[in-house]
Amino acid sequence: MNKTQKILLTLVSGVLLALSWPGIGGFSPLLFIAFVPILFLEDYIFRSGRGSTYGLTFLTFVLFNGLSAYWLYMVTEGLETKLSLYIFVVMFNASLMALVFHFFHYTRVKIGSKQGYIGLILYWIAFEYLHFHWELTWPWMTLGNGFANTVQWIQWYEYTGVFGGSIWVLIVNILIFKILDKAITQHAPIIESRINIISLILCLLVPISFSMFTYSNYTEKENPVAITIIQPNVDPYYEKYSLTFDEQLNSMLSLVNYDQLNKSDYLIAPETAMTEDIWENDLDRSNSIPIIKNIIADHPQLNFVSGLTSYYLFEDDEEISSTARHFHNNNRSYDAYNSAMQINSSGKIEFYHKSKLVQGVEKMPFASFLKPFENLALDLGGTTGSLGSQENAEVFISHDGKTKIAPVICYESIYGEYVSEYVNAGANLIFILTNDGWWDDGPGYLQHLAYARLRAIETRRSIARSANTGISCFINQRGDHIQTASWWTAETLHAELNSNDTLTFYTIHGDYLGRIAAFTAIILLLYSLAKSIYDRKRVS
């Protein structure tokens, strides 16, 4: 295999992965063959001992990440900032993916091919699991997310979450490679691959058949909740800051007609829709809250849920948080939050503070080391700098106590296990509040929209998604879009969603596949290292 052939294989895999991804090519079946070219490449390096799996597969994953996440370059920032963000995310994530292939190759060389291919699955899932939990969290490119718009195939995510999809992709790719390798490289009759062929057929047909059956026979319990979604379509860079907060609030509320208010149990506005600076420990100062209270006085059945930027002023004798900011003219400290708020006729105003913050925008990773640089945080249409957060998911309870909703804010919606925490806390509906305007009209907001469908399947909860510039929608418990708004339009949607109290296997157990894979991957890698050291000592 010459250099050109090697590079061609790396490029083919990268393009296939990108074409499979939502918002790019969107043809998810390509995931089943996308790794085959670089598996041939790794096998050649394994047999010949010539070449680097890390360097070559790095090209594959640069292409995959670069094409699938090119929307990162579309933020309205200076050229230097845009390039820095885009290049760092693409190169860093590609380097981690290539490292997985390096570990796979290393394990295969040191302890055998069978263990190597098992290692590929374990190392990859461990890498994806890491991306859900560390300071540089970025689970956007989890392989199981690639099926987000093929919901008829993945109803079993209610048992496995997205890691089940990732494992599925890797197993099918390995089986296809094994079959082709035997036929092409070893020139063996196809009958000699009968076990792998049967395994491949079963690996494809059983999950899809089970899912199609579940999809066709899934029936929601009738427990309707009437919801109106507002999509205000305020440009997060320009228009948002050219209008006063009361002008924006009144403009947003003017989209809702009297009939919708009369027949709705919930009225939802998106992330940071209320632009007044609201101090949680001094709500009487707010001019926005009385406007909402007046609407609820005329419609006492209504629960109003909205995103906002809120602040909390620490008392002099109160312990401040690690994210606290300080006034320049006195010694007082405060926290800023990307929040959700609920107002209803109970008289209680509830707040939830976004927990899964966007790295480099709302949170400075490794804050103890990088806090001096937090003023470099990107401004993506919301509150910037290191924000305060809360540790646990929290639900909002309706005024009559019958409905509990999960107020999921923007980026939090890509964390399956975290969303399941809301459900374990009692949520029987999921509301996603987001501001996707900073993505511009690229694939980013389409991918974000698609990933919401996965949360519906995993938890079997209907979803109301309020997006500032689009796309707002309603999603049923099978992951179907039942009503959607248009991109970059000001409009409202109204529908009835069925609430659900049943807990799925995934909701109860979370990312158990990721935890098992991470633990086992560490053991396998350590064993490979130990075997290598032992073999070197024995030879010497």
Q: DSSP for 88-145, please give it.
A: HHHHHHHHHHHHHHHHHHHHHHHH-HHHHHHHHHHHHHHHHHHTTTSTT--GGG-GGG
Token pair recorded at residue 408: 């999921």
CATH tag, 224-309+339-509? 3.60.110.10
Please name which of 362, 354, 311, 352 lies closest in space to residue 332, comparing C-alpha atoms. 311
The answer to whether the CB of 395 falls within 8 A of the CB of 425 is yes
What tens-digit pLDDT sequence spans the chain (540 residues)?
Answer: 899 999 999 999 999 999 999 999 999 999 999 999 999 999 999 999 888 899 999 999 999 999 999 998 887 677 777 888 899 999 999 999 999 999 999 999 999 999 999 999 999 999 999 999 999 999 999 999 999 999 999 999 999 999 999 999 999 999 999 999 999 888 888 888 899 999 999 999 999 999 999 999 999 999 999 999 999 999 887 666 567 888 899 999 999 999 999 999 999 999 999 999 999 999 999 999 999 999 999 999 999 999 999 999 999 889 999 889 988 888 899 999 999 999 999 999 999 999 999 887 888 776 655 555 545 545 444 444 589 999 999 999 999 999 999 999 999 999 999 999 999 999 999 999 999 887 788 999 999 999 999 999 999 999 999 999 989 999 999 999 999 999 999 999 999 999 999 999 999 999 999 999 999 999 999 999 999 998 888 876
Domain locations in the chain as residue ranges = 3-217+511-539, 224-309+339-509
Residue 528: how many other CB atoms lie within 10 Å: 21
Q: List 493's β-bridge partners, or say none.
A: 229
Give per-residue burial for 264-284: e unless 16+ CB within 10 Å, then b. bbbbbbbbbbbbbebebeeee
Read off the pTM.
0.94
Residue 111 in 3-state DSSP?
helix
Q: How far apart are CA 91 and CA 168, in angstroms?
A: 26
Task: List the structure tokens of 211.
Answer: 């899912």
